[in-house]
Structure 1
Amino acid sequence: MARMGGTLVLFCYYLITVAFSAPEIGNSSWKMERDLINRLLDSSRYDASIQPSSISGIPTKVEIDLVLNSVGPVNDIDMVFRASFFLRQQWVDPRLKFNEVNHSIVLSEKRLSRMWVPDIFFPESTEETRHIITTPNVLIRLHPDGSILYSQRLSVTMQCRMDLSKFPLDRQECGIKMESYGYTTDDVYFTWSSERKSTSVMPNAYIPDFTLTNVTAHDCTAKYETGSFTCIQARLGLKREIGFYATQTYIPSILIVVLSWASFWIDHEAVPARISVGLLTVLTITTQSSGARAQLPRVPYVKAIDVWMSACLVFVFAAYMEYAVVTVLSRSYRKQKARQELKKNSKSTMATVSDVDVTITDQAKKPKDKDTGRFVDKLSRFIFPLAFLIFNFGYWIWYIHIA
């Protein structure tokens, strides 16, 4: 019984000792990391203005990987696009090796100014933003072997040289180019990460009017008069979604062209009705064409949308001009028919015939048996739809599968 009591006392003493010593252990670990960081980044032994290659004599290898968080919007007029992504860089700085602890240490972004970091810049950017809410979106992790992982979240607006010759059935390739500003390849060189996937896309990276088909990694090391500078690039394959343009441009223009054919079923003697339909369709397709082109830059080449709108304008204008042809042919038919009736019933002299503007040549002509104008109207009811159908077939086959 006494032995059990002694054991219980010892156990209680052990629990009390652990409880009071745990905070001291935690404080000791925290102090150890703080002292270690201060020692490593002490300005008397570490100069942030000197790159690691100056110490090791070997160009510093910086491994980079990119995670796209969002892409867009894409501005066709200015030919720029915006992308938000996580940029991770990893390199080894021999001056920051340590063996006091056997795990990595996460540093505050406030220590960043005391460390050497690669001087990456985006040569094709027009606007850059580092996210700082609610705190700067920066991660710095230091490993015992001197390896540093530097991750940050950025949003950048970049130029994208687009070929709009197939717009809106086009595909574009835009790039996120990253280059060293001051260090040549003798000092620093960039390469895509060997541990992580070089480029990846998060599921929420949605573009309103494009589909992101693929992201590929490339090397774009550039040579200037001041030397060779390391560069890498992520290329984004973008396929334009045609849904918006189908509902806003293609389908309405098709309906306008079809509306212009309604005049072929209106009697050619109903002048106000036929002129109204013709003018309405011509003016409407012209306005729609101007609206479609207003959303695009003034490039020197012909775009697919230009071909479509021009063809639709030609079809509605041809339908309008068809009425002019029908009017001329019908008037000629009525005159000939009047002269025929006059010839049968007239018993007057040549002067009387002259009063109705009949010449000797006209008398020699054989009058037509039917109204050619009405025949042209009936023929147009089939020729115009067939011609438009053939144009559609050639247009879509060419721009989707051939061009």
Structure 2
Amino acid sequence: MNYSLHLAFVCLSLFTERMCIQGNQLNVEVGRSDKLSLPGFENLTAGYNKFLRPNFGGEPVQIALTLDIASISSISESNMDYTATIYLRQRWMDQRLVFEGNKSFTLDARLVEFLWVPDTYIVESKTSFLHEVTVGNRLIRLFSNGTVLYALRITTTVACNMDLSKYPMDTQTCKLQLESWGYDGNDVEFTWLRGNDSVRGLEHLRLAQYTIERYFTLVTRSQQETGVTTVLSMTTLMIGSRTSLPNTNCFIKAIDVYLGICFSFVFGALLEYAVAHYSSLQQMAAKDRGTTKEVEEVSITNIINSSISSFKRKISFASIEISSDNVDYSDLTMKTSDKFKFVFREKMGRIVDYFTIQNPSNVDRYSKLLFPLIFMLANVFYWAYYMYF
């Protein structure tokens, strides 16, 4: 199918350079002195079939690529993808577009529709679009030897399979793969124009980093309120870290381990407060028991002595023979049960005193030393394991 393009007389004036296209002849005047003659687009594309690749039926077309990374706007761990804006440049030889001279000229981007271009696409791209402000961000340049340069500005969101087992100390490898949609290796071959230097922009790229917000302290009524609030905050962080990340093939991630360590120390501090407070109450109760112990012993002794005396009087003044079946020991039995209760309470008190901390202030004193020391050791093992193993 042949296409005919009729160009009217157009003159563009910009500073000291002027370019005019008239009919089938393209005249470029630079500085109003050196003139050169380039073929008109209509003559150049006469008999051109954009539906057939260059070297159709022969050697595959060599597509040389260069890539400029303009920005990487986001890297999402939850969606496992990244969004980047790139400048994709493709070069290939098309002998049908050879013209005389050693110059090149740039065509309007809308003329791309009349030329053959490779059907390059981004593998694993979720969404992609070409920028259209203020016009379509595409460029087509023709060289006299038949080389075609085709440049595009693309923003794409590409999937990236991430291994988050060491998150947030993880290192991910995200790929940007380019392939031909319809042609195979017998028709099109992709190569990098300048090897490893074909990709530029990453050396100056700075990704946004997350920083910890400012923290401040408040005076609270009780240490227990602060401990409970901190435990709830750590629980919220642990739940948030798990819900904000995708379900991966690993059950425990590095951030889960670290938050678990922090939660253990926060909960341990709350338990330390509970132990110290309980020990203080027990110490006060022990002092109260010491003052009433002698009074209870005297009372129990008097009760037992009075019971025995009453029992003896009954034996002395009885006029009948007393047998063991007729004696009423109820009064004596009640008093001895009180003695057994007292002995039982005394035994239990000794057991409780054995496990009671004699000086509750030592709990806080030792905790101030042990908690930071153990936390530092835990961090040393944690970071050494996840950074070097």
What TM-score results when the alignment is normalised by the length of structure 2? 0.70
Pick from 41, 46, 49 the counterpart of residue 48 of structure 2.
Answer: 46
Residue of structure 2 in register with 1:347 after alignment: 298
Change (3 A) 1:378 1:197: closer
> Is the 1:340–1:367 contact (alpha carbons within 8 Å) kept by the matching residues of 2?
no
Q: Structure 2 counterpart of 1:198, which letter?
A: S
Shift of 1:132: 2.2
Residue of structure 1 in register with 2:12 after alignment: none
CA distance in 2 between counterparts of 1:71 and 1:292 reads: 23
CA distance in 2 between counterparts of 1:323 and 1:127 reads: 54
Q: Structure 2 matches for 1:177-256, cutoff 5 A?
A: 177-194=177-194, 197-201=197-201, 205-209=205-209, 243-244=210-211, 247-248=212-213
> Is the 1:120–1:179 contact (alpha carbons within 8 Å) kept by the matching residues of 2?
yes
> Is the 2:123–2:176 contact (alpha carbons within 8 Å) kept by the matching residues of 1?
no
Q: Percent identity?
A: 31
**Residue aligned with 1:54, SS:** coil
The answer to which of 200-209 and 154-163 deviates more is 200-209
Residues 1:384 and 2:371 aligned together: yes
Change (3 A) 1:348 1:199: same
Q: Which runs of 5+ in 2 are unaligned?
A: 1-17, 28-36, 302-334
Q: Structure 2 counterpart of 1:307, which letter?
A: V
> Is the 2:88–2:153 contact (alpha carbons within 8 Å) kept by the matching residues of 1?
yes
CA distance in 1 between counterparts of 2:182 and 2:143 reads: 26
Shift of 1:142: 1.5
Q: Structure 2 matches for 1:340-379, cutoff 5 A?
A: 341-343=291-293, 346-349=297-300, 358-359=344-345, 361-362=347-348, 371=358, 373-379=360-366
Residue of structure 2 in register with 1:394 after alignment: 381
Pick from 310, 317, 320 the counterpart of residue 267 of structure 2.
Answer: 317
Q: Structure 2 counterpart of 1:384, which letter?
A: F
Pick from 226, 234, 246 the counterpart of residue 297 of structure 1.
Answer: 246
Change (3 A) 1:102 1:327: closer
Shift of 1:367: 6.2
CA distance in 2 between counterparts of 1:290 and 1:196 reads: 43
Change (3 A) 1:196 1:98: farther
Change (3 A) 1:109 1:195: farther
> Is the 2:137–2:153 contact (alpha carbons within 8 Å) kept by the matching residues of 1?
yes
**Residue aligned with 1:301, SS:** coil
CA distance in 1 between counterparts of 2:238 and 2:383 reads: 19
Residue of structure 2 in register with 1:30 after alignment: 26
**Residue aligned with 2:70, SS:** strand
Change (3 A) 1:202 1:30: farther
User: What number of residue pairs does the alignment pair up?
Assistant: 323
Residues 1:151 and 2:102 aligned together: no
CA distance in 2 between counterparts of 1:141 and 1:344 reads: 109
Shift of 1:66: 0.5
**Residue aligned with 2:134, SS:** coil
Q: Structure 2 matches for 1:3-22, cutoff 5 A?
A: none
Change (3 A) 1:119 1:365: closer
CA deviation string 1:108-144 (max 9, x = no partner): 2222122111110012111111122222222222222
**Residue aligned with 1:134, SS:** coil
Shift of 1:196: 9.4
Q: Which runs of 5+ in 1 are unaligned?
A: 1-22, 210-242, 264-271
Change (3 A) 1:281 1:177: same
> Is the 2:279–2:357 contact (alpha carbons within 8 Å) kept by the matching residues of 1?
no
CA deviation string 1:295-350 (max 9, x = no partner): 43343432332222222211121222234444555555556555555555633436
Residue of structure 1 in register with 2:257 after alignment: 307
Larger Rg, first or second structure (1 or 2): 2
Shift of 1:162: 1.9
What TM-score results when the alignment is normalised by the length of structure 1? 0.68
**Residue aligned with 2:65, SS:** strand
